[in-house]
Each structure stands twice: as structure tokens, then as C-alpha cells.
């Protein structure tokens, strides 16, 4: 089968954890904690953007629920406007804003570090949750642009003072926060509450990999960090109502930043034995086929959200807020139209920050909560999508 990019082949395997109640539970018990994996007769659970298998398996009862109880965010001081970009590339404020909805973005400067902003965002989440750093059991750092090649989750853990926590990094580009959020809930559920408090941080500094002479990409990206505190709770209070995750490497060519190095031709020493010369490795600037990525997003994201809503037993009319990865306002509008969600229920801060990759969802969430839009008990449909290609969605309830 084909999709907008021809991205999903018949051999694509889609693995999905389920949080569905078995048939012997009443409708009112649908949030009880269950995990199962649904698969077709050949072991492949459907394909093509989240098509569900017609064959169901009896779920396993396991674990606890989880809920979001705190959030925070942090952005660099340096603001770059569309007019600023017009001084270095052939563009204008009108050209950028009409095509993307972006007017400003923040970028790292001076001695600022990505891990520093991640720490600040996490502190905000801890403060809102009224939790001490020593009470955190796990720190999940979602980033594709760490300060260190080997990741910076442990540095964030150290600087926060989370001395009792384990820490690791997740690399999934603009889908990173969704992957981290769902991972956090699975740690809580699978360990029966062995993990009580988990910090999920989305942070990226894509300005490090932008070609500032390419108006097709330099206008899009900014730097930021956002964080949430996910806490174990009774299954009746479970705040993750449904989710859906996918990846397909066939679309990698449409959005990437490849490793590159010096010429690797062999040289020989005096006795003729081959030697490899020293190589200075780096990554290319971000390469993106904007039209194809747009087509991918407007096709895949609504279907993923619909699959997550089906799992949650909800319809799009039940959603209080739609919060998508902040990539392009035209994508946000297209998805909300497809799902028939009115514009006054759509959260967007893209104009002020641009595409901040893994930070975009928690950054917008934090602003909406602190600004009084999102209230306790509200249901939020959220989705991330980007390089990999990866995409996924989650239906969550704010504490």
C-alpha cells in the first residue's frame, strides 16, 4: 500500500502497546491498567499509518496508572525575528509568516547550553508538582542535539540534584517528547509503581545544525526546553487514555542531518601497511524536503490521533484541546480541520518560537497551563512527528 510519501512498505512492522480493558470489564472500567500487543496472523499489526489489526488478543493485567502533575519550560535570551533573517537570506516577514506562521525564534548564544535550559525547565515542573529533586526516580532526556555526543541526561540529573534517579537519553527528533512520555508511563505501569516520579524533558538546539544561508530551513527552527513530571497513581486516575506510535525508515531521505567526515582514502606507512588517517567527523546541516514532509504530516498525524482516540474510547468531539508538534501552522490547521476540531480548541505558540523539535509540545503545554487555558481534568490530544521518520500521538488528561 502507498501513502503520501510512499513511506510505508508492506514489510513495515508496527508494534503498539495497548491500554485497553478486556471484554469482561464494564465500560466504566476501561481505564484499568492493561498492556497487550495486537498482531495479525503474520505477526505484523496492520500497516499504513496505524491501521488496526482485526485480530484481538486478550490483554494482560499489569501495573498502575500515571498522571501529569507538573510542567515547566525555558528558552534562550536571543530572539531572531523574520526581519533579522531577511538581512542574511532572501526572504521577508510576510513570506515566512504566510507559509509557516512563524515570526520569531530563540537560539542559543554566549555560554548558554542545552542542558542548562533542560535543568531550568525541569525545575519548573518540580516546583509545580511540589516535589523535591531527591524524590525523582527517573530522568528521561528527549533530545537529538545534546551538548555531548553521548547524551546529556546524566548531566541534567546531576545538576538538578536527582541523586536517587536513573537517567538516560531518547533520540527521536520531533517525536521525542511523545516517545519519552509514553516510555515514562510504561516504566510506572510495568513496575507496579516501582518508579513513582519521572521527569520527561524535551529539549533541542537545532540552530546548531541549520544552514543559515538556506531560507527553506533556517526560517523554521528555534531552541528551547520543556518538561513534565509524570507521577504514579491508582489506575482509576490514569491520565494516559490512549496512544499510538509508528516509525518508517523509508522516509529518512526526506528529513535528516547525516554524519560526515574527511576523505577516508587509505594511506600507507613506510613498509606499505595501510593506515587510516585521522578524521574529523561532524554532521551535515539539516536537509529537508519540505513538500514531502508536509504531505506526510497532514496524512499520518490525523490517522494516528484517530487510532489513539479509538483506543481511549473517545471521539474528537471529546477533546478539550489539540496540541500538536509546532512545526508549521499550515500543518496544524490541516490536522485540526481533518479531525473537525474548532480553532478555539487548538493550542499554538509557533509564531513566537518556531519549530523547537522535542521541546515544542511541553513548551506549548507549559504556556497553556500557566496561562490558564488548560484546566485540571481537561483532555488533550497531542502528537509528534518528524525525522526518522517517526510519528505518534497520545490522549492525555491534565491531572
The catalytic residues are 174, 325, 355
Reading the block at residue 201, the C-alpha cell is 524533558
Taking the C-alpha atoms of residue 14 and residue 44, their distance in angstroms, rounded to an integer, is 7
* C-alpha dist (Å) from residue 363 to 187, 257, 308, 331, 352: 23, 24, 22, 18, 11
Reading the block at residue 324, the C-alpha cell is 500538536
* C-alpha dist (Å) from residue 82 to 43, 77, 352: 49, 16, 11
Reading the block at residue 79, the C-alpha cell is 530572539
Taking the C-alpha atoms of residue 43 and residue 29, their distance in angstroms, rounded to an integer, is 29
Sole residue written with cell 560526515? 260
* C-alpha dist (Å) from residue 329 to 50, 221, 237, 319, 335: 24, 13, 33, 20, 10
- CB–CB of 31/267 below 8 Å? no
| β pairing state of 379-386 and 223-233 | unpaired
- CB–CB of 134/111 below 8 Å? no
Sole residue written with cell 613506510? 270
Strands (E), 137-239: 138-142, 166-170, 197-205, 223-233
- CB–CB of 91/139 below 8 Å? no
- CB–CB of 275/267 below 8 Å? yes
Reading the block at residue 169, the C-alpha cell is 537519553
Instruction: Give me the count of residues in the chain.
Output: 399
Closest CA to 53 of 65, 61, 44: 44
Burial per residue of 19-48, b for 16 or more beta-carbon CB atoms within 10 angstroms, e otherwise: bbbeeeeeeeebbbbbbbebbeeeeebbbb
Amino acid at each position: 500500500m502507498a501513502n503520501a510519501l510512499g513511506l510505508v512498505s508492506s514489510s513495515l512492522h508496527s508494534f503498539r502497546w495497548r491500554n485497553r480493558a478486556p471484554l469482561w470489564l464494564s465500560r466504566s472500567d476501561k481505564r484499568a491498567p492493561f498492556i497487550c500487543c495486537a498482531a495479525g496472523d503474520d505477526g505484523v499489526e496492520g500497516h499504513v499509518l496505524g491501521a488496526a489489526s482485526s485480530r484481538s488478543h486478550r490483554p494482560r493485567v499489569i501495573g498502575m496508572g500515571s498522571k501529569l502533575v507538573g510542567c515547566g519550560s525555558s528558552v534562550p535570551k536571543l530572539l531572531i525575528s523574520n526581519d533579522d533573517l531577511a538581512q542574511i537570506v532572501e526572504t521577508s516577514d510576510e513570506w515566512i509568516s504566510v507559509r509557516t506562521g512563524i515570526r520569531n525564534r530563540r537560539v542559543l548564544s554566549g555560554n548558554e547550553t542545552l542542558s542548562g535550559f533542560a535543568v531550568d525547565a525541569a525545575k519548573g515542573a518540580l516546583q509545580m508538582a511540589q516535589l523535591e529533586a531527591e524524590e525523582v526516580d527517573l530522568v528521561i532526556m528527549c533530545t537529538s542535539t545534546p551538548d555531548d555526543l553521548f547524551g546529556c541526561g546524566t548531566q541534567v540529573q546531576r545538576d538538578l540534584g536527582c541523586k536517587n534517579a536513573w537517567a538516560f537519553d531518547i533520540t527521536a527528533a520531533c517525536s521525542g517528547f511523545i516517545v519519552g512520555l509514553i516510555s515514562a508511563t510504561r516504566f510506572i505501569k510495568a513496575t507496579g509503581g516501582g518508579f513513582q516520579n519521572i521527569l520527561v524533558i524535551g529539549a533541542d538546539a537545532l540552530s546548531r545544525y541549520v544552514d543559515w544561508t538556506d531560507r527553506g530551513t533556517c526560517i523554521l527552527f528555534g531552541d528551547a526546553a520543556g518538561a513534565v513530571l509524570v507521577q504514579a497513581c491508582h489506575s482509576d486516575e490514569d491520565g494516559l487514555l490512549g496512544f499510538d506510535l509508528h516509525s518508517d525508515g523509508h522516509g529518512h531521505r526526506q528529513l535528516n542531518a547525516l554524519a560526515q567526515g574527511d576523505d577516508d582514502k587509505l594511506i600507507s606507512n613506510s613498509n606499505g601497511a595501510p593506515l587510516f588517517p585521522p578524521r574529523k567527523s561532524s554532521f551535515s546541516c539539516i536537509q529537508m524536503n519540505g513538500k514531502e514532509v508536509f504531505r506526510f504530516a497532514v496524512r499520518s498525524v490525523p490517522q494516528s490521533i484517530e487510532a489513539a482516540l479509538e483506543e481511549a474510547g473517545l471521539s474528537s468531539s471529546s477533546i478539550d484541546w489539540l496540541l500538536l508538534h509546532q512545526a508549521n501552522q499550515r500543518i496544524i490547521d490541516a490536522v485540526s480541520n481533518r479531525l473537525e476540531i474548532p480553532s478555539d480548541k487548538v493550542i499554538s505558540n509557533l509564531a513566537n518560537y518556531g519549530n523547537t523539535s522535542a521541546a515544542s509540545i511541553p513548551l506549548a503545554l507549559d504556556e497553556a497551563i500557566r496561562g490558564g487555558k488548560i484546566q485540571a481534568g481537561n483532555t488533550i490530544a497531542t502528537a509528534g512527528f518528524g525525522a526518522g521518520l517517526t510519528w505518534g500521538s497520545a490522549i492525555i488528561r491534565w491531572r
